Amino acid sequence: MAVLCGVLLVIIMNDSFATHPEDSVRIEKRVGALLAEMTLAEKVGQMSQVNASDGNPIEGLADRLRAGSIGSILNQVDVETVNELQRIAVEESRLGIPLLVGRDVIHGFKTVMPIPLGQAASWNPDIVRDGAAIAAREAATTGINWTFAPMIDIARDARWGRIAESLGEDPHLASVLAAAMVEGYQGDDLSANGSIAACGKHFAGYGAAESGRDYATTNIPENELRNVYLPPFKAAVDAGVVSLMASFSDLDGIPATGNEFLMRQVLRDEWQYDGFVVSDWDSVRQLQIHGLTENDRESAFAAATAGVDMEMAGDAYVGHLAALVENGRVDIQVIDTAVANILRAKFRLGLFENPYTDPSSLPPIANEGALKTAKRAALQSVVLLQNEQDVLPLAKGELNSLAVIGPLADAPYEQLGTWIFDGDSSLSVTPLAAIRALAGDDVEVRYVRAMENSRSRASDAFDEAVDAVAESDASVLFLGEESILSGEAHSRADISLPGDQAELVRRVRARGKPVIAVILAGRPLTLTNIVDHVDAILFAWHPGTMGGPAIADLLFGVESPSGKLPATFPRMVGQIPIYYNQKNTGKPPSPDTIVHIDDIDAHAPQLSTGMTAFHLDAGYTPLFPFGHGLSYTEFGYREISTSQSEIELGESVTISAELTNSGERAAEEVVQLYVRDLFGNVTRPVKELKGFRRVHLEPGQTVTVDFELHTDDLAFFGRNMQLMTEPGEFHAWIGGSSETRLRTEFRIIDSD
């Protein structure tokens, strides 16, 4: 039973900043000394970030830079221009404070990695870290020293276009990968050439936008906010993230940009964060549009006092903050703290020592190593959703011809996905090119695009596609969404395959040949209307520059798929939000308590349903669950056990299971550990991911996979918003998806 006095309160401390303690002391001294010399106008200047992509930024910004009224620029990627802007700031302003140069480097710079949601499907922090490090080094060649990434909003609604940029629905997976991305961008030494500052965004709750409509209101109870939405931010803070970005969204009546609870209570008081917070694009002034403030002056007041240290692309701070201080409404301490937070970042980045960029001191763009990492990331992110009769991999030796059909087979730009301001589509290797290269002379490849793009309604070219399929031994259909259909402000209400793609599938299917769908998309899609008309589905997300070679290797079995879903795939859009770590409810559904709308007893309709939590037309299960992903080999799990059946608070338990590769190929599997806390001070999810590991197994090999769980790993926020681990009963599962049934139990007992 949950007894509050018996709980272990976990002390929250931000204790792992990358900066060495001695450096921290030195930096604090320098921050203090500089701050003491600054005028109020110069302080407000540091709190202002301006867009440097319009017109001639040198002419446009020089005077303001000389006056010390700009702390940061964004969106300028010409290195000479950036160096000149830095030079003016450093050499021609009174105090010579260098600039933060920001840019959205979200999943690669010129070399593009899979979209973040795809990277999350790799469940591989190492590849995520490597991808971010490559992005940082490439971006740094232009003078960029700060990226607005990682985006770590928990996303449980695939309608939301920005789910593409997220790390999925799960707090644990997103937290581990958030930390890895921060480490990748920032490196071991933030001041090193090629390291750039990261920015965890959007603080907080943005992913819960009502109906997935971007920028819409979010309603998140504080308990859910703390247990679900905040953990990735805490993980990023613990990994030393230099900055956070306030969200555009309204959280329980107070837009995040003016939300003191988030930025003062949680971030500063509880987490002891000493990085800085930037607003989102013009989101300070938008406080008025939200209806929180009357005018820009009040917006500046609300945002600054709530804890937004820097205003992005707006003029509320430069226009009003000084007067607000002078007339006594804003305490100078608020300004000094904000400026100190920003200067601290500049010192940590080593910008005072080295504000300029020499691109030749950094590795070449899109070098062999970068492309290799991009391919590996794409390989590990592709999820094999289904594979009837083991139609995949294609057996090169037995195949004489292959029809390659669809609008996304040869679309170099589209495979890069959303947020690729700087991505170079001329580097993209498309699936068609890679299939041709791999097939060589052995397999004749017949390519028919069939649709101009994924949204096309014209079916004139379908006959040609069907003919190509009829003449070939197998067909691969490249379907999905172009990059424009996901990302910011690109939400969809219907997330099935757009245009006439389902019709194309049916037409091709009618030829009776094996049909393989490779889907490129920025979100989970509802695939219910095609799933029975294709033999196999490889879900490739937007796989980036090297998506083509990765997909070709998977199709021909050079590699076995190993991606696992980082978000649940609904059967129908009406099931959303649907996620594995839901609460049980008082009336949980089961196979015997549900009835389908078509089976309702016409004579006794009131007796037909089992009075549980399900949809008459969709049941309660997803089409593909979180964590799902097949392989070309057979993985079997057995013999789950715990090191002890009882542990005390403060101790650890080891959960292990045997994993066997009983198939005929070497392959990697992502082993997942889930836990359920059976009852608590607040209700607990039916399953929660608590650990995962990618393991490589040779054919016939068996390994024991162990996960050590400390009682702190089972902590959650209770009804008083205290982080606690309670004594009681726990279930633990190990397996290859969230639907694993291989279960054991253990108990936590009170240490008193």
| Of residues 150 and 629, the one with the C-beta less far from ligand BGC | 150
| Of residues 203 and 281, the one with the C-beta less far from ligand BGC | 281
Q: Which of 229, 281, 579, 635 binds ligand BGC (CB under 6 A)?
A: 281
Contact predicate 201/247, CB 8 Å: yes
Contact predicate 164/197, CB 8 Å: no
Q: Which of 17, 148, 447, 632 binds ligand BGC (CB under 6 A)?
A: 148
Contact predicate 532/384, CB 8 Å: no
The conformation of residue 437, written as its DSSP 8-state character, comes to: H
410 carries an active-site annotation: no
Amino acid at 77: V
Using the rule CB under 6 A, is 146 a contact of ligand BGC? no
| Of residues 485 and 715, the one with the C-beta less far from ligand BGC | 485
Chain residues 436-465 in contact with ligand BGC, contact rule CB under 6 A = none
> Least Å distance between CB 179 and ligand BGC?
19
Nearest residue to the partner ligand BGC, using Cβ: 148
Q: How many residues bind ligand BGC (CB under 6 A)?
A: 6
> Least Å distance between CB 422 and ligand BGC?
12
> Least Å distance between CB 251 and ligand BGC?
15
> Least Å distance between CB 413 and ligand BGC?
19
> Least Å distance between CB 246 and ligand BGC?
10
Give the tokens for residue 411. Answer: 């679309």
Chain residues 77-116 in contact with ligand BGC, contact rule CB under 6 A = 104
**Which of 457, 460, 475 lies closest to 512 in space, CA to CA?**
475
Using the rule CB under 6 A, is 677 a contact of ligand BGC? no
| Of residues 281 and 462, the one with the C-beta less far from ligand BGC | 281
Using the rule CB under 6 A, is 153 a contact of ligand BGC? no
| Of residues 148 and 692, the one with the C-beta less far from ligand BGC | 148
d(CA 559, CA 632): 9
> Least Å distance between CB 85 and ligand BGC?
18
Q: Which of 274, 280, 422, 559 binds ligand BGC (CB under 6 A)?
A: 280
| Of residues 72 and 526, the one with the C-beta less far from ligand BGC | 72
72-74 and 100-103 beta bridge pairing: parallel
Give the tokens for residue 536. Answer: 């196999």
Note the helical H segments in 500-656.
501-509, 547-555
Using the rule CB under 6 A, is 185 a contact of ligand BGC? no
**How many residues in total does the chain contain?**
752
Strand partners, 674: 689, 733
| Of residues 281 and 569, the one with the C-beta less far from ligand BGC | 281
Using the rule CB under 6 A, is 238 a contact of ligand BGC? no
> Least Å distance between CB 204 and ligand BGC?
13
Using the rule CB under 6 A, is 311 a contact of ligand BGC? no
Contact predicate 70/98, CB 8 Å: no
Q: Which of 137, 159, 201, 628 binds ligand BGC (CB under 6 A)?
A: 201
| Of residues 416 and 477, the one with the C-beta less far from ligand BGC | 416
d(CA 676, CA 665): 34
| Of residues 148 and 478, the one with the C-beta less far from ligand BGC | 148
Contact predicate 177/229, CB 8 Å: no
Position of tokens 């709980």?
A: 7
| 3-state SS class at 550 | helix
Q: Is the omega angle on the peptide bond into residue 363 within 30 degrees of 0, that is, cis?
A: no
Contact predicate 635/661, CB 8 Å: yes
> Least Å distance between CB 280 and ligand BGC?
5
Selected catalytic residue, list 170, 250, 280, 713: 280
Give the tokens for residue 343. Answer: 């200067």
d(CA 698, CA 104): 40
> Least Å distance between CB 105 and ligand BGC?
10
| Of residues 280 and 410, the one with the C-beta less far from ligand BGC | 280
Half-sphere exposure of 152 (CA within 13 A, CB side): 36
250-251 and 311-312 beta bridge pairing: unpaired
Using the rule CB under 6 A, is 160 a contact of ligand BGC? no
Contact predicate 457/504, CB 8 Å: no
| 3-state SS class at 85 | helix
Half-sphere exposure of 196 (CA within 13 A, CB side): 36
Using the rule CB under 6 A, is 250 a contact of ligand BGC? no
Give the tokens for residue 651. Answer: 């101790």
Burial of 389 (0-12, 13-18, 19+ CB in 10 A): exposed
Q: Is 328 left (phi over 0), alpha (psi -120 to 50) or beta?
A: left
Using the rule CB under 6 A, is 488 a contact of ligand BGC? yes
> Least Å distance between CB 423 and ligand BGC?
15
Contact predicate 380/562, CB 8 Å: yes
Using the rule CB under 6 A, is 290 a contact of ligand BGC? no
> Which stretches of the chain bind ligand BGC, using CB under 6 A?
104, 148, 201, 280-281, 488
Q: Which residues are catalytic, by number?
A: 280
